[in-house]
Amino acid sequence: MSATTYDQLVEIITRLHDTSADRFTPEATFADLDVDSLTMVEISIRIERDLGVTVHDSELRPTLTLADTAELIDARQTV
């Protein structure tokens, strides 16, 4: 996981989801952050728009950690 991708992901989630920044850790899951399914769709759209990577909202499961999500984005950027 690149720190830059992780930071960009956190920025995207912070803009879309009103949650305390102290809850953000690489090990935090979307469920830990109380991210609902509508916000998952919005996160997916923002990842594609801001980072140029397609991650379908169906791939953003509640149990997925932020680190795992950043790794998924990184893997798609290098393809």
The answer to whether residues 69 and 60 touch, using CB atoms and an 8 Å cutoff, is yes
Q: Which residues partner with 65 through β-bridges?
A: 29
The CATH T-level fold of domain 3-77 is 1.10.1200
| Average pLDDT score over residue span 46-75 | 95
Confidence of residue 1 (pLDDT cuts 50, 70, 90): low
Whether 79 shows a pLDDT value over 70: the answer reads no
> What is the pTM assigned to this prediction?
0.88
Q: Show the tokens assigned to 77.
A: 């950027």
Distance of alpha carbon 35 from alpha carbon 31, whole angstroms: 6
| Average pLDDT score over residue span 34-50 | 94
Residue 11 host element (H or E): helix 3-16
Whether 20 shows a pLDDT value over 80: the answer reads no
| Average pLDDT score over residue span 10-31 | 88
| 35 Rama class: left (phi>0) / alpha (psi -120 to 50) / beta | beta
Domain boundaries, the chain: 3-77
